[in-house]
């Protein structure tokens, strides 16, 4: 009746971040603060998403973003919330967001870090009450402290990420992140307003039986992708596709699987964006023992040339991604 009073007190996200910082005696605490700022913004978004239907913030906003997509009201709300939290937090000098065509200057010219962000991933799923997410990457700036952030700060290879993560607003809300020492997942306890460590040291299975791809554009897939899909079906793997990248990635991280968004006739470079979708998830996948490529090369080694650059994306269990790459190389 009283529940399990002997259960150990969980580790909160704040405590976990503080403990990690203590392990690095020269750390100044700025990255820790930045991670807390992101967590705080995610709690605000979580609240907005949960009451979207009641608060009149479902549906399209009537505007179009730089991607040529109709923005949803919550795309805009999430973008504003994150931009404000990162600006007020003081540790970020510049932001690249899916929802904004140019670099956002926060005014914190003395801050060390830059953030690239997909404020709301899977936004077409909001109106049907299916999970959505937030994806972020953190880099050290390259421009001198005290100056305005530049494109060179933003166009860094994924290998340069200091930290990356995502928030999943699903049946539970979770924050999953890595600072390059493994991946840890935290579940939000809304009545306490705290994230608790629920998934320590996450590892992706070396092989899996789930493939996630939108087959609607099958006719224009590269032949190697078609061959890989045949392989999946010959093996009677399960097809699972939410249409929210964060959700599809998270499931495959926990269960083993592959997510593919290949080049298609409509999206010649794939649909997903390198800076604020693929790099973060590639970093997490590798930290969990998985693999992320554009079909031919490691995502984290791609040198970005523009802020909203797209790339084909193959991410997931090592053996599955390697098999897909092998078939892409073969003349069909
Ligand atoms: P976003 O909502 O941030 O624009 O991202 C949408 C992405 C991703 O979440 C999802 O996996 C993919 O687009 C779905 O695209 P299709 O509808 O073409 O399958
Ligand atoms: Mn979008
Ligand atoms: Mn997205
Ligand atoms: Mn988005």
Q: What is the pLDDT of residues 63-121, one digit of tens each?
A: 999 999 999 999 999 999 999 999 999 999 999 999 999 999 999 999 999 999 999 99
Q: Is 271 in the pocket of ligand 1 (CB under 6 A)?
A: yes
pLDDT exceeds 70 at position 30: yes
- Strand bridging mode 210-212 / 258-261: parallel
pLDDT exceeds 90 at position 53: no
Return the pLDDT at 4.
63
pLDDT exceeds 90 at position 176: yes
Instruction: Give 271 Cα–ligand 2 centroid separation in angstroms.
Output: 10
pLDDT exceeds 70 at position 6: no
Which ligand is in closest contact with the Cα of 246? 1
What is the pLDDT of the chain when averaged over all its residues?
A: 95
Return the pLDDT at 58.
85
- pLDDT band at residue 3, thresholds of 50, 70 and 90? low
pLDDT exceeds 90 at position 5: no
Burial class of residue 4 (count of CB atoms within 10 Å of its CB; 0-12, 13-18, 19+)? exposed
Pinpoint the alpha helices (H) of the chain.
Answer: 13-22, 30-50, 52-55, 73-89, 151-154, 223-234, 245-255, 279-287, 318-329
Question: Is 265 annotated among the ligand-binding residues?
Answer: no
Mean pLDDT, range 277-297, rounded to an integer: 98
192-235 pLDDT, tens digit per residue, is 999 999 999 999 999 999 999 999 999 999 999 999 999 999 99
- pLDDT band at residue 52, thresholds of 50, 70 and 90? confident
pLDDT exceeds 60 at position 8: no
Q: Which atom of ligand 1 is nearest to the CA of 259?
A: 11
Token pair listed for 171: 């049946």
Torsion (CA) 139, 91, 99, 250 in degrees, nearest 10: 60
CA distance 22 to 17: 9
- pLDDT band at residue 1, thresholds of 50, 70 and 90? low
List the single range of 18-27, 114-123, 201-210, 307-316 with lowest mean pLDDT. 18-27
Mean pLDDT, range 1-23, rounded to an integer: 80
Return the pLDDT at 56.
84
- Measuring CA to CA, how many Å separate 25 from each of 22, 90, 99? 6, 22, 37
Q: Is 302 in the pocket of ligand 1 (CB under 6 A)?
A: no
Return the pLDDT at 330.
85
Mutation pick for ligand 1 pocket among 73, 98, 122, 262 (CB with most ligand atoms within 8 Å): 122
Q: Is 244 in the pocket of ligand 1 (CB under 6 A)?
A: yes
Question: Is 241 annotated among the ligand-binding residues?
Answer: yes
Return the pLDDT at 48.
93
Contact (Cβ atoms closer than 8 angstroms) between residue 141 and residue 122: no
**Whose alpha carbon is nearest atom 6 of ligand 1?**
122
Return the pLDDT at 322.
98
Q: Is 122 in the pocket of ligand 1 (CB under 6 A)?
A: yes
List the single range of 4-18, 57-71, 253-267 with lowest mean pLDDT. 4-18
Contact (Cβ atoms closer than 8 angstroms) between residue 278 and residue 311: yes
């Amino acid at each position: 009746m009283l529940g399990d009073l002997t259960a150990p007190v969980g580790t909160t996200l704040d405590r976990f971040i503080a403990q990690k910082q203590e392990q690095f005696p020269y750390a100044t605490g700025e990255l820790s603060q930045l991670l807390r700022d992101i967590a705080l913004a995610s709690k605000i978004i979580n609240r907005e998403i949960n009451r979207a239907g009641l608060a009149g913030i479902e549906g399209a906003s009537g505007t179009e973003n730089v991607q040529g997509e109709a923005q949803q009201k919550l795309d805009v709300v999430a973008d504003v919330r994150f931009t404000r939290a990162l600006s007020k937090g003081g540790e970020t000098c510049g932001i690249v967001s899916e929802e904004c065509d140019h670099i956002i200057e926060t005014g914190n010219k003395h801050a060390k870090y830059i953030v690239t962000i997909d404020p709301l991933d899977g936004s077409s799923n909001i109106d049907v009450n299916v999970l959505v997410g937030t994806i972020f990457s953190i880099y050290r700036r390259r421009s001198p402290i005290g100056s305005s952030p530049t494109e060179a700060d933003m166009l860094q290879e994924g290998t340069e990420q200091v930290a990356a993560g995502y928030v999943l607003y699903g049946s539970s809300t979770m924050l999953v992140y890595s600072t390059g020492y493994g991946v840890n997942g935290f579940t939000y306890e809304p009545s306490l307003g705290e994230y608790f460590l629920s998934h320590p040291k996450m590892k992706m299975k070396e092989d899996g039986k789930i493939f996630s791809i939108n087959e609607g554009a099958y006719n224009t897939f590269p032949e190697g992708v078609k061959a890989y899909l045949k392989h999946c079906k010959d093996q009677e793997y399960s097809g699972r596709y939410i249409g929210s990248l964060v959700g599809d990635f998270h499931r495959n991280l926990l269960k083993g699987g592959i997510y593919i968004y290949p080049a298609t006739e409509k999206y010649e470079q794939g649909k997903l964006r390198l800076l604020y979708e693929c790099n973060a998830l590639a970093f997490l996948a590798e930290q969990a023992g998985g693999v992320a490529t554009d079909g031919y090369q490691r995502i984290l080694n791609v040198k970005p040339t523009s802020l909203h650059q797209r790339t084909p994306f193959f991410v997931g269990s090592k053996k599955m991604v390697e098999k897909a790459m092998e078939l892409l190389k073969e003349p069909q």
